[in-house]
Structure 1
Amino acid sequence: MIHLPQLVTDLGLILAAAAFTTLLFKKIKQPLVLGYIIAGLLVGPHFNFFPSVSDEASISTWAEIGVIFLLFSLGLEFSFKKLAKVGGAASVTGITEVSIMFSLGYTAGMLLGWSTMDSIFLGGMLAISSTTIIIRAVDELGIKHKKFVNLVFGVLIIEDLVAILLLVVLSTMAVSREFEGSEMLFSILKFGFFLILWFIGGIFLIPTFLKKTHKLMNDETMLIVSIALCLLMVMLAVQVGFSPALGAFIMGSILAETTMAERIEHITKSVKDLFAAVFFVSVGMLIDPSVLINYAIPIVILTMVSIFGKPISVLIGALLSGQTLRTSLQSGMSLAQIGEFSFIIATLGLTLNVTSSFLYPVAVAVSAITTFTTPYMIKASGPFAEYLERILPTKWITTLNKYSSSTQGISETSDWKILLKSYFTNFLIHSVILIAILYVVQHYLHPFIITNITNGIKGTGLTIIISFILMAPFLWAFALRRIEKRAYAHLWLNKKYSRGPLVALEVLRVSLAIVYLVFLLTIVLDTNLAIIIAILTILVVVFIFSKKLQVFYGRLENRFLLNLNDRENSMDKTRPNLVPWDAHLTELIVSPESELVGKSLIELAIRERHGVNIALIERGNLFIATPSGNERIYPNDQLTVIGTDDQIAALKAQLEVSDQYNETIQSSKKDLELQKIVLTSKSPVCNQTIRNSGVREKTQGLIVGIERLNERILNPDSTLTLLAGDIVWIVGNRKKIVELLKG
């Protein structure tokens, strides 16, 4: 008789249950994640009405594979460049929300009488919202053009990074069973070190490899290569002491920076969906219904903490970052749930045997309830915000609006701030590279040479030569490279206050480079001799090889920057989001069937009818900034417009567009931004009409609003005179707006 392996039998049960619930939950229009969890409950060991998955080891195996591919797909949507572009509002909001929710979760756990470790893991689970659930809810509700959605996606990016950091910290705490700050600090530093190293190495190597082999990459080959890269990074992460999920996330985020990111995401989607279903079904298998009954009260309490705590914590963070009351409240009510990262954190606790068995099903139950409530919370957020605006004192609303407006202006950056930031970045990146080279030399290169090639003085000399060749370009960049020449020159002219600190900075750089060389040489030489050789080596680099190293390093840097910016340069789909009042920038695409096609902007009178300004028309490779009234609208034009949610929604319906809104944080497009200028009596546009001021010509810009003596003038007439003290909102080229401001 043919024997079917139990692993295959269990997989068949898992997928059969997932298939059935997929159809059912599609029919009743509920999130598939909940269906998968219920399917897992039905085929799990605690439910006997259906055939059950009998091998618990196989459940863990499939769950681990599911986590890897789920995190890989989240990494493809994450991108570290998107993190860098996340505005201050999203960063402040996200960090505030995570901090408050972690504290609330920990406090709730302790008040319920749970152990310290259970409470810590509970805090981590409640701190992270569900990216999957929010994206689906926003898509189903058709609100992607809403202003607050930008902030929500920005907060989700911050939460994703915090979740990865939590996985590292919680793993360390679970293994050591200790809570010393030094242990956690070491784990965070180790995480940061490998994160930077993997990112630099990945961006330098992988996009180049994909570009060199793109002619050989059909869909089948690309799928195999992508999964291979994912699993190789998983193996590397485990080798250095991190979780497999972290490795998968990192590789996904590296591939997200390549020009093939969309293709990789498309061809791996089926694999991701398959194993994500397996993961969520395995989540349901681990739920014991009796635990849910016994812990019904804690489940209700924690659900309330999530439903009320998250909106309040996001509201606090968003208001602090300068968002309006409406935007802050809508964002908070959209994030009131927990999801996939919470499951992964709960799984980590179970896998390491540091959390109680009840915590996992409790977390899943809270997630299930909050998943059901999310669409209703989002729908209710607008009316509830309007209700609050009506009942709150007018003085409070006015104060919040003034604070929001004051946080969105242009802030000038001093030369010292620019220089110190660049020096710190230079120090951090090259220190990571140099430390990695030293580690490889000590643990691999030197032992290999003396064992397999030659030992004694020859082996020592060969190790030093190879090591120095590897380190030389980065030592030069670390110690001698000129950084931010313009800011440096400005500061150098100030003999009295700046030259001394600048000289001290240069001496510090060279001294640290000597320290790295000493560390290298002490691997094979006496310390005193190592110091002497290190100093002589630096002198040789300065006087003999400096220009050659500069050229070589320049090639390395250009290759890295080319790979880093290649995707952005080939297809920039991002849009700005700096807003006065409730107006914001978004992008609409003109449908060929729209009744507006072929008409000029004067004929359409979009500004007069809808209150919406068209800031940019993108037509293929043609960009028309602040188009004139004679410009016509053509099929598939991409219009970057400014207006309120309601105004944009009305125009969107008339254009009959297909919404191409990017589901991640939006940022600058072709330098087009909305900026605030406070006019002074010295401003060249002061006491001139808008038409005669030359703002359109000087900034490629459009004045969309003016604040004057607490009065707000939206879409001001071109005959209006600009006065000293006016707060003028301009959509246009940022650099030219700044030049106009300084003028």
Structure 2
Amino acid sequence: MEHLPKLIQDLALILIVGAITTLLFRSIKQPLVLGYIIAGLLIGPHLSLTPNVVDTENVETLADIGVIFLLFSLGLEFSFKKLMRVGGSASITAFVEIIFITVAGFFLGKLMDWSTMDSLFLGGMLASSSTTIIIKAFDELGIKTKMFARIVFGVLVVEDIVVILLMVLLSTIAVTQQFQGAEMAYTVLKLLFFLALWFIAGIFLLPTLLRKAKPLLDEETLLILSIGLCLGMVVLATQAGFSAELGAFIMGSILAETTAAEKVEHILTPVKNLFGAIFFVSVGMLIDPETIWEYRWPVVWVTLLTLFGKFFSTTLGAILSGQPLRQSVQVGMSMAQIGEFAFIVAALGLSLGVTSDFIFPVAVGASAITTFTTPYMIQYSEPVYNFITRVTPERWLVALNKYSSGTQNIQAESNWKRLTKAYLNIAVTNGIVLLALMLVSIKFLIPFLAEHIDDEITRNVIALVISLAAGSPFLWALMTKRPKNMGFKELWLEKEYSQGPLLVLEVVRMALGILIVAIWVERIFSTTIAILVAVPIIIIVMFMFSKRIQAFYQRLEGRFLSNLHARERAEAAKLSESENILSKHFSPQSDLSPWDAHMVDLEVNQQAEYIGKTLQELAWRENYGVNIAYIKRGDKLIYAPGKNNKLLPFDHVGIIATDEQMQAFKPVFDTLEAVDTADHNIEDIVVQKIVVDEHNRLKGKTVLNSGIREKTNGLVVGIERNNERILNPTSTTTFEWGDIVWIVGEKQKIQKLNTL
């Protein structure tokens, strides 16, 4: 190749410098993201001491691809069902924190005389914390088993989806330059509509496609297919007026519900890491050291707002969700940093041309500082809690404890609440499908028929028949489908109190269905025809074919639910019966918070010093106050083990304890048996042969009394004698002159055997 493209030279520079800086950051145990950003700073246009990237336009394109793959990977780890399982406590905590810090970030930008768009994007940048940094800090401090860690992980899940929605709103505001409430409400409704539509359609189609194509899918074809689906959704999202990042995230979250999710995530990791590295390096290339120094005070103010604002808002959200004060403070101290999403939000503002160049230096400076402070914030959460309890009036502490206890003791949902949720589920899912079919018929079907059929009445009738035939199953479900839970029957039997409201619900849903039909017909024919002719005919036809429509809808619903739960069923099929019982009744997240306790699943190390001892001998309950709920050993599950049960290597043990008890007990559980490994190396264990001669004086001795085992720490595994081979000779076998003896043992000791 006579001429090497500049892009290849730039990629070589980016990856080499990125590798060097990340190796350095890994050695000092700091996040790799900061290493990539420093690499970008070194090869960026603002430093002349090092080689610089030349083809910045193509590098920016590769960086955009990196953002798409980062969001696609995030969607694969996310899934909407995971959000539904997060729980109310984490959701309330996350929303309080996000609303407070976003608004506070906006007003801080205004106080620093920033423009409105700069201030808005600053609020968006502060909305998320760093999952990578938090998990790293939890691992290093050994506190992943504490109760508050579960709330933190739930908050991070909610933050991810909310920040995605914030990015869409910020993009809309940046493009339209409008801040009216009606416009924002329309954007939110449009976003929710497309989110639900894409999710329903994706779950209905994709798992079936992957299941039928499974015999043809190896790692290469699955990678190509998944990236193709990702980029296809990116195109679809941009055509609908949303960001490319949203499309990538949605496709990832759809694939996360399929049985191929883990495999896709595994094969996509190298691609994500490669393009993600290019993105973060490109972020560093935008940083001007002079600008950082010029805006040092904004960096300081943003850092202080992150540290104290996030601590205050997250703690407040945790308290409002019903968490005890100690746990709320621990959650708040853990969330006080800026996450990787800050760089993505800042890059979005720059790509749209609505934010200033100094946004990046401020984000990077604040992120670097809060990254280093995070472990110390978590570590000092206990002293902060003690200080708060000292300065807070006693009656306030009592009131907080009562509020927390009352919230934790809320009973199960009522029949009315469950029934209302079931009706809303039916109305929303089928209503969204009907609206989508209406849009398709108006935007695509009618114009298509207009090109091929001249008679207006004929083409309108054909369009109405086709579109309503496609929508009839969903229209039937919206108007007549009953919830499957027992709440409806139980409430219907309460004639005096419940039959009236239930009849109102049924009338409302019937009226809603008729309204949708009327609007649909009115878009094709005149209002008079819609009201007097089309709607009555449609209702009569639906009534006549109701059984067939119902059967068809049930097949559609069955396929959707089968696809939705396919991954869970596949995971359950891999588990033994005891593991299914374990996951159902002894989940590590079992909520014992009213007693300030929780259950943790721990694995017995193969070198634990307590292996083989009975629970009575260990006396863990008496010494540390912990209880063992179960012992899982392979496919065997031991409920409430007795005093004579023993712990063996790789057992899984369910420990019920408070955070304080677990903190004292965990070092005991992790204690390993002392093993002398000073002079032992597996590479020194070899298979070597010696010849029986006058040097080793083995002639006439048996394997047992030759002393070979003692002298070499080894075994005699074979003897060659007169072209015959004796494999694994017995201990009474006698050595003869010229025998070739094969010994497995320590290399140096076998060699010494010949020098005796």
2:576 matches 1:576 = no
Q: Which residue of 2 aligns with 1:438?
A: 438
2:587 matches 1:586 = no
Q: Tell me which amino acid in the other structure corresponds to 2:624.
A: H
Q: CA deviation at 1:643?
A: 0.8
Cα distance in 1 for partners of 2:437, 2:221 equals 33
Which segment is superposed worse, 642-651 or 198-207?
642-651
2:628 matches 1:614 = yes
Cα distance in 1 for partners of 2:469, 2:613 equals 64
* Equivalent in 635, 649, 652 of residue 638 of structure 1: 652
SS of residue matched to 1:22: helix
Which segment is superposed worse, 86-95 or 616-625?
616-625
Q: CA deviation at 1:540?
A: 2.8
Q: CA deviation at 1:311?
A: 0.7
Q: CA deviation at 1:648?
A: 3.0
> RCO (CA 8 Å, sep 6+): is it higher in 1 or 2?
1
Q: Which residue of 2 aligns with 1:93?
A: 93
Which segment is superposed worse, 110-119 or 236-245?
110-119
Q: Tell me which amino acid in the other structure corresponds to 2:115.
A: S
Cα distance in 1 for partners of 2:311, 2:74 equals 24
Cα distance in 2 for partners of 1:500, 1:204 equals 36
Q: How does 1:120-519 map to 2 (within 5 A)?
A: 120-389=120-389, 392-452=392-452, 458-484=458-484, 486-519=486-519
Deviations 1:594-628 (CA, angstroms, capped at 9, x unpaired): 45555555554443333222334445566555455
SS of residue matched to 1:587: strand
Cα distance in 2 for partners of 1:501, 1:582 equals 41
Change in Cα spacing, 1:509 to 1:2, as seen in structure 2 (3 Å) is same
Cα distance in 1 for partners of 2:546, 2:665 equals 59
Cα distance in 1 for partners of 2:246, 2:136 equals 24
Change in Cα spacing, 1:598 to 1:313, as seen in structure 2 (3 Å) is same
Q: CA deviation at 1:631?
A: 5.5
Q: Tell me which amino acid in the other structure corresponds to 1:535.
A: P
Cα distance in 2 for partners of 1:462, 1:428 equals 28
SS of residue matched to 2:656: strand
Q: Tell me which amino acid in the other structure corresponds to 1:506.
A: E
Q: CA deviation at 1:401?
A: 2.8
Which segment is superposed worse, 39-48 or 70-79?
70-79
Cα distance in 2 for partners of 1:278, 1:455 equals 57
Cα distance in 2 for partners of 1:609, 1:253 equals 46
Cα distance in 2 for partners of 1:462, 1:422 equals 35
Change in Cα spacing, 1:587 to 1:338, as seen in structure 2 (3 Å) is same
TM-score, with structure 1 as normaliser: 0.83
Which segment is superposed worse, 321-330 or 392-401?
392-401
SS of residue matched to 2:565: helix
> Residues 609 and 671 of structure 2 are in contact (CA less than 8 Å); yes or no, is this contact kept in structure 1?
no
Change in Cα spacing, 1:208 to 1:136, as seen in structure 2 (3 Å) is farther
Q: Tell me which amino acid in the other structure corresponds to 2:603.
A: I
Q: How does 1:696-735 map to 2 (within 5 A)?
A: none
> Residues 324 and 581 of structure 1 are in contact (CA less than 8 Å); yes or no, is this contact kept in structure 2?
no
Cα distance in 2 for partners of 1:236, 1:142 equals 44
Deviations 1:55-101 (CA, angstroms, capped at 9, x unpaired): 33223212211111111111122211111111211111111111111
* Equivalent in 661, 685, 688 of residue 647 of structure 1: 661
Change in Cα spacing, 1:571 to 1:397, as seen in structure 2 (3 Å) is farther
Structure 2, gaps ≥5 residues long: 573-582, 673-756
SS of residue matched to 2:53: coil
Change in Cα spacing, 1:522 to 1:600, as seen in structure 2 (3 Å) is farther
Cα distance in 1 for partners of 2:30, 2:71 equals 23
Q: Tell me which amino acid in the other structure corresponds to 1:584.
A: H
SS of residue matched to 1:641: strand
SS of residue matched to 2:482: coil
Which segment is superposed worse, 577-586 or 80-89?
577-586
Cα distance in 2 for partners of 1:657, 1:77 equals 33
Q: CA deviation at 1:400?
A: 2.8
Structure 1, gaps ≥5 residues long: 659-743
> Residues 66 and 278 of structure 2 are in contact (CA less than 8 Å); yes or no, is this contact kept in structure 1?
yes
Q: CA deviation at 1:589?
A: 2.3
Which segment is superposed worse, 500-509 or 644-653?
644-653
Which segment is superposed worse, 491-500 or 189-198?
491-500
> Residues 338 and 367 of structure 1 are in contact (CA less than 8 Å); yes or no, is this contact kept in structure 2?
yes
SS of residue matched to 1:127: coil
Cα distance in 2 for partners of 1:197, 1:100 equals 30
Q: CA deviation at 1:485?
A: 5.2
> Residues 583 and 645 of structure 1 are in contact (CA less than 8 Å); yes or no, is this contact kept in structure 2?
yes
Cα distance in 2 for partners of 1:196, 1:609 equals 53
Q: Tell me which amino acid in the other structure corresponds to 1:172.
A: T
> Residues 409 and 594 of structure 2 are in contact (CA less than 8 Å); yes or no, is this contact kept in structure 1?
no
Q: Which residue of 2 aligns with 1:567?
A: 567
SS of residue matched to 2:541: helix
Cα distance in 2 for partners of 1:499, 1:514 equals 23
Q: Which residue of 2 aligns with 1:44?
A: 44
SS of residue matched to 2:135: helix
Cα distance in 1 for partners of 2:422, 2:615 equals 45
Q: CA deviation at 1:268?
A: 1.1
Q: CA deviation at 1:343?
A: 1.1
SS of residue matched to 2:594: coil
Change in Cα spacing, 1:328 to 1:485, as seen in structure 2 (3 Å) is closer
Deviations 1:155-185 (CA, angstroms, capped at 9, x unpaired): 1111111101111111111111121011111
Change in Cα spacing, 1:611 to 1:16, as seen in structure 2 (3 Å) is same
Which segment is superposed worse, 576-585 or 61-70?
576-585
Cα distance in 2 for partners of 1:31, 1:47 equals 23
SS of residue matched to 1:407: helix
Q: Tell me which amino acid in the other structure corresponds to 2:653.
A: L
2:542 matches 1:541 = yes
Cα distance in 1 for partners of 2:134, 2:630 equals 29
> Residues 590 and 657 of structure 1 are in contact (CA less than 8 Å); yes or no, is this contact kept in structure 2?
no
Q: Which residue of 1 aligns with 2:54?
A: 54
> Residues 10 and 58 of structure 1 are in contact (CA less than 8 Å); yes or no, is this contact kept in structure 2?
no
Cα distance in 1 for partners of 2:484, 2:226 equals 38
SS of residue matched to 1:571: helix
Q: CA deviation at 1:313?
A: 0.9
Q: CA deviation at 1:389?
A: 4.2
Cα distance in 1 for partners of 2:75, 2:327 equals 27
Q: CA deviation at 1:211?
A: 2.2
Change in Cα spacing, 1:623 to 1:429, as seen in structure 2 (3 Å) is farther
SS of residue matched to 1:268: helix
Cα distance in 1 for partners of 2:386, 2:79 equals 35
Q: Which residue of 2 aligns with 1:24?
A: 24
Cα distance in 1 for partners of 2:559, 2:619 equals 48
Q: Which residue of 2 aligns with 1:63?
A: 63
Q: CA deviation at 1:422?
A: 1.6
Q: CA deviation at 1:449?
A: 3.6
Q: Tell me which amino acid in the other structure corresponds to 2:157.
A: I
| Higher Rg of the two aligned structures | 2
Cα distance in 1 for partners of 2:641, 2:472 equals 52
